[in-house]
Chains A and B, each alone.
Chain A
Amino acid sequence: MDKMPKWADVVLLPLISLLLAGAISALVLLATGENPVEALGVMIDGALGSTRGWGYTLYYATNFIFTGLAVSVAFHARLFNIGGEGQALLGGVGVTLACLMIPWPHWTLALLAAVTASALFGAAWALIPAWLQAKRGSHIVITTIMFNFIAAALLNYLLVEVLKPAGIMEPASANFSAAVHLPNFADMLAPFGIPFSPQAPANVAFLLALLAAFLIWVLIWRTRLGYEIRAFGFSETGARYAGISGTRIILIAMVISGALAGMMSVNNVMGEAERLVLNSAEGAGFIGIAVALMGRNHPVGVVLAALLFGFLYQGGAQLSFQMQIPTEMVSIIQALAILVTGALDQMIRAPLERAFLSLRKARA
């Protein structure tokens, strides 16, 4: 017997977590002498009150959909890919090379090349820890964390020594040409006569992220490979019994995971910055872990959780901008959301399950 109905697990539990995180955040704001109601108003208005706000929210959400999907695919094979950040950084290198090395006549071709290159670079960066796990038993959590640092150092080296145009003081690549500029929401919605803020960074990569979410859903729940990944994730001995190769599943799941994390860079490097800078992923790889946890590793959940975190990011930015709340305070609010929805999941789950059980008993 399942302990509680599915809707409670999927909807009610995250909602309670969220309210709890909100309540604690309100207390923190109160303690610092700010008005939490006003703060919430500023966040909602800043993130959802204008097309510019929406543009930022969706831009952040795009990053988080990619990294959240990356974590969830690996997690279906019970692999904890903490390396999304590093894989995203490497994906950025792929995007940059694809955009700078070939003079693309049109952005569509450049997009195709950038997606491929970012996926390949991200996948390659995930493949090494995967191989070490499958063949050498090195724990993937440790290796992927380490690979984040290596990726950051590698990016640093590449930007300073290789990609930086001569005569520029900043460790950054050259700006991409205007031809590879991805259409943002204003460009995309103009033909329909819908006005949208042209400064907002949300771009066509958002649609790409939704497509990726759909494809991952098909992969995990409709294909033979997804069946094998899930079977392996639930029981390694079961997989061995069924003749499913663990090595193969580990490598494939991590390659897909790394490719998804890498593809995030299409959004931030190609769609927004239009050049490669240090720390380009800005922690989105780590947020992906919280997004996957909160989204219950289901693509629909990941998309919803990514939108929520997009809201928190954009709303939080507005908060520090408009209310002079220090950015550290905004980080605290975001961290609380991650802490309660992710790490403290069990704290809320156990009492909720008990409540449902006693409810059922009372009815029986």
Chain B
Amino acid sequence: MTDPILELTGISKSFGPVQANKDIALRVMSGTIHGIIGENGAGKSTLMSILYGFYRADSGTIRVKGREIQIADSQAAIAAGIGMVFQHFKLVENFTVLENIVLGAEDSALLRPSLRRARSELRALSDDYGLSVDPDAVIEDIGVGMQQRVEILKALYRRADILILDEPTGVLTPAEADQLFRILARLRTEGKTVILITHKLREIMDITDTVSVMRRGEMVASVTTSQTSPEALAELMVGRKVLLHVDKSPANPGALVLEVDNLRVTDAKGVQRLKGISLTVRAGEILGIAGVAGNGQSELLEVLGGMRAGTGRVRMDGQDIDLTGKHSDGRTRRAHGIGHVPEDRQREGLIMEFFAWENVAFGYHDAPAYNRGPLMDHAALRADTSAKMTRFDVRPQNPWLTARNFSGGNQQKIVVAREIERKPRLLLVGQPTRGVDIGAIEFIHRQIIGLRDAGAAILLVSVELDEIMALSDRIAVMFDGQIMGERLPVATTVQDLGLMMAGMAGKAA
């Protein structure tokens, strides 16, 4: 633990006028788990892409094991002993585990000898690091946690000494995340070095030895984890004091607003994505839907938001809603008083090429206030946009910028402003703070609670358990298209929810 295995000095990288990395210095000690934390857009991914040879730094030096090297491409990174586990796995779905591990590292044009050698080596690696996988399982048949292990094994097979993991827990249940952390700890014991990129303070505190904080392209601090606190790290990340918890008064639930009964959705491939969902949301309460991404939450929001068809019964204020998709769509849902902050603001909630003032009308573009006869009233739109930008503190406060030119947090504020200011009876909210900076998270959470206090029903879907715990008045857990159970936030724990998220039926609380 005395020598730095990786040392960066003076790394800078610009994309046009944007400086993504400014004079970065980083020392990673051999045999440690080193966390890198920072908000979206702080430059973490750019830095790691430079390390893995996807980008070339404009200036600066990289030393691995004391030797200065040039990393021109990923082959060079691998040769230097750097392995990368991406947030979105790079596996061939219909290949076996073994084939994926060998892919790109074959010994010769003939596959058989490579596979034979890989099989014995894989067994050795599995034993050494406690990474058991079935080499003959096909990737698409195994779980996400297992796929991640394959990615780690791929890196180890290529003799990586430094393993970089980019937001590795985003797709895992809490239990799977714990398992991953045990693996990482084992890797450390065996002398490997791990760089963990995350925006989750809890993970940093739990597992890392050292943590480096990035803010706006700069490395603002490197501290020993045991000598810091989540509050101190958050302050370093944002540059000012932040509230990590949400202040809210107890809910005051009123009349039933949304009643969902036996809702089913089958996707284009014929797979059932929702297998009979039943739930209710009352006025003045927030129902949080917890679950690992891909367990039907997106489909639930889409069918309620009029973006896809389903079967079953959905009532809004006692009135039946057409689910066939033939007579209703997002527009008619809005007429029912349903607002929708979609999960993916870039693909759904906004048109990235549209100006802010065009996006403020999106979905409500036939509202009388925005139109004069057949023509749209651009002046009225721009005035409304300016007003919303002031009230929701959207920066820069310029209606003439396209959505693409705003940061994630400000894009989300535009969507939230549009949906909340319509005073919906029911607001569907999907991943409200994904890719949003901490400062804006606080603001958006306060807006959602404010809407609840004004008497709206809110259905919140988030893969961030902390967010669900902080905002919800009731929590339902989804797994494999079903509701596994419901809990009150005061009467449950992360472990309890985690079990349900993994498909273990919860006992009634």
Contacts and interface: CB of A to CB of B under 8 A. Distances in A.
Whether A associates with B in a native complex is yes
Interface of A: 1-3, 218, 222-224, 227-228, 230-231, 234-235, 237-238, 240-245, 357, 360-361, 364
A243 B363 contact: yes
Contacts of B17: 1, 357, 360-361, 364
Contacts of A230: 351, 354
Nearest to A225: B374
Interface stretch (B313-321, B332-340, B486-494): B332-340
A243 B332 contact: yes
Nearest to A218: B375
A218 to B, nearest CB: 8
B270 interface: no
Interface stretch (B40-48, B113-121, B206-214, B342-350): B342-350
Given A1-B405, A240-B307, A241-B342, A224 B366 contact: yes
B393 interface: no
A1 B365 contact: no
Contacts of B14: 361
A243 B331 contact: yes
B358 A227 contact: yes
A242 B375 contact: no
22 contacts: A2-B405, A222-B375, A223-B376, A227-B358, A227-B376, A230-B351, A234-B352, A235-B348, A235-B351, A237-B307, A237-B347, A238-B347, A238-B349, A238-B350, A240-B307, A241-B342, A241-B349, A242-B362, A242-B363, A243-B329, A243-B331, A243-B333
B330 A240 contact: yes
Nearest to A219: B374
Contacts of A218: 375
Nearest to A361: B17
Interface residues of B, number: 37
A106 B35 CA distance: 83
A362 to B, nearest CB: 11
B348 A238 contact: yes
Contacts of B350: 238
A47 B340 CA distance: 57
Nearest to B18: A1
A231 B16 contact: no
Nearest to A226: B376
B305 interface: yes
Given A241-B363, A243-B332, A231 B351 contact: yes
A77 B353 CA distance: 13
A234 B354 contact: yes
A18 to B, nearest CB: 26
Interface in B1-39: 14, 16-18
Interface string B363-381: 1011000010011101000
Nearest to B374: A223
B345 to A, nearest CB: 10
Contacts, number: 85
A243 B307 CA distance: 8
A224 B370 CA distance: 10
A224 B376 contact: yes
A245 B331 CA distance: 10
Given A1-B405, A234-B351, A238-B347, A228 B340 contact: no
Contact of A224 (B305, B344, B365): B365
A240 B331 CA distance: 9
5 cross-chain pairs, A with B, having the tightest CB-CB distances, nearest first: A243-B331, A243-B330, A242-B363, A357-B16, A243-B329
Contacts of B351: 230-231, 234-235, 238
Interface in B278-324: 305-307
Contacts of A228: 365
Contact of A361 (B16, B330, B358, B378): B16
Given A223-B374, A227-B365, A231-B354, A243 B306 contact: yes
A214 to B, nearest CB: 14
A1 B405 CA distance: 6
A242 B330 contact: yes
Contacts of A231: 351, 354, 362
Nearest to B330: A243
Given A222-B376, A227-B376, A242 B16 contact: no
A241 B340 contact: yes
B305 A241 contact: yes
Nearest to B362: A242
A264 to B, nearest CB: 26
Contact of B331 (A1, A242, A360): A242
Contacts of A237: 307, 344, 347-348
Nearest to B308: A240
Contacts of A242: 330-331, 362-363, 365
A241 B330 contact: yes
Given A235-B352, A360-B17, A243 B334 contact: yes
Nearest to B361: A227
B434 to A, nearest CB: 16
A288 B308 CA distance: 37
A227 B405 CA distance: 20
Nearest to B331: A243
Interface string B50-77: 0000000000000000000000000000
Contacts of A222: 375-376, 378
A162 to B, nearest CB: 40
A227 B362 CA distance: 9
A1 B331 CA distance: 32
Of A2, A227, A228, most B-chain CB atoms within 10 Å = A227
A231 B331 CA distance: 14
B330 A234 contact: no
B508 to A, nearest CB: 36
Q: Which of B14, B306, B330 has the most CB of A within 10 A?
A: B330
Contacts of B334: 243
A237 B18 CA distance: 29
Contacts of A243: 306, 329-334, 363
A275 B95 CA distance: 64
Contacts of B18: 1
Given A227-B365, A234-B352, A244-B329, 8 more contacts: A218-B375, A223-B375, A224-B375, A227-B361, A231-B354, A238-B351, A241-B363, A360-B17
B333 to A, nearest CB: 7
A245 B18 CA distance: 38
A226 to B, nearest CB: 8
